[in-house]
């Protein structure tokens, strides 16, 4: 009986330690993500509100991207794939530096919104996105339902959106653009809940190993995933709800 009580007490201590570690891990994920978003919007505003800087990437009147603008537009996608391939070779500090660099480049790619949309409209959509993101992420964190099965379906949806968006650059169909926008909001809403649960489950599965270097990189990868969910949901909602200048 004494052994059973000792084992139960030890199990309780481990559970409490994992819970405390999980809270700290999630705080780091959300904190890193939030700082990344502040950096992104600061860079976007700085470039978008300065016609001379914006003209380096786009025509200030038509907002059509030049060659450098297209490079900046697609650079975040290439960086995400590169980060996924190199994460195991990077240190936690290296992964953190990559994330800040990525957030700044994303800001360059988004700078045009401060010319295309009113400031009030951008702020309003940001608030709507924040509320939706917080609700969906809370659901992903607290639900007892296993939503890991959503992953393959949602990733296929992202690939489909990317392909359709590339095609529509040349086609220029308003109907296709609207369909992409609606699907984009739904897909990244689902990914917000899915990624949050995945971050939580991944931590719980590896917490006992005590590999702080790995956990540090996992927090940054989690922050990047949630950051992408938020930014993409924001951009799609801006296309739906934003008031153009």
pLDDT tens, residue order, the chain (245 aa)? 545 454 344 444 455 556 778 889 999 999 999 999 999 999 999 999 999 999 999 987 888 889 998 999 889 989 988 887 777 788 888 889 999 999 999 999 999 999 999 999 999 999 999 999 999 999 999 999 999 889 889 999 999 999 998 898 888 888 999 999 999 999 999 999 999 999 999 888 777 666 677 778 889 999 999 999 999 999 999 999 988 86
Following DSSP, what letter does each residue of 130-156 receive, concatenated?
A: HHHHHHHHHHHHH--S--TTHHHHHHH
Rounded distance, CA 209 to CA 18, Å? 11
Residue 222: CA atoms inside 13 Å, Cβ hemisphere, count?
A: 28
């Amino acid at each position: 009986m004494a052994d059973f009580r000792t084992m139960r007490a030890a199990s309780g201590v481990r559970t409490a330690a994992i819970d405390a570690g999980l809270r700290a891990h999630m705080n780091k994920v959300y904190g890193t993500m939030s700082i990344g978003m502040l950096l992104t919007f600061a860079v976007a505003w700085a470039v978008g509100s300065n016609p001379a800087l914006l003209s380096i990437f786009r025509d200030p009147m038509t907002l059509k991207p030049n060659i450098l603008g297209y490079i900046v537009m697609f650079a975040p996608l290439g960086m995400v794939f590169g980060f996924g391939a190199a994460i195991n070779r990077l240190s936690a500090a290296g992964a953190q530096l990559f994330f800040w660099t990525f957030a700044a480049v994303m800001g360059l790619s988004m700078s045009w919104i401060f010319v295309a949309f009113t400031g009030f409209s951008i702020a309003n959509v940001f608030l709507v996105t924040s509320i939706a993101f917080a609700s969906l992420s809370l659901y992903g964190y607290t639900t007892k339902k296993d939503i890991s099965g959503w992953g393959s379906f949602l990733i296929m949806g992202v690939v489909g959106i990317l392909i359709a968006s590339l095609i529509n650059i040349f086609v220029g169909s308003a109907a296709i653009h609207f369909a992409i926008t609606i699907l984009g909001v739904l897909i990244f809403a689902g990914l917000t809940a899915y990624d949050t649960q995945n971050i939580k489950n991944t931590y719980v599965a590896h917490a006992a190993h005590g590999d702080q270097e790995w956990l540090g990189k996992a927090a940054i990868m989690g922050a990047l995933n949630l950051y992408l969910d938020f930014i993409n949901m924001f951009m799609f909602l801006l296309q739906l709800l934003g008031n153009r200048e």
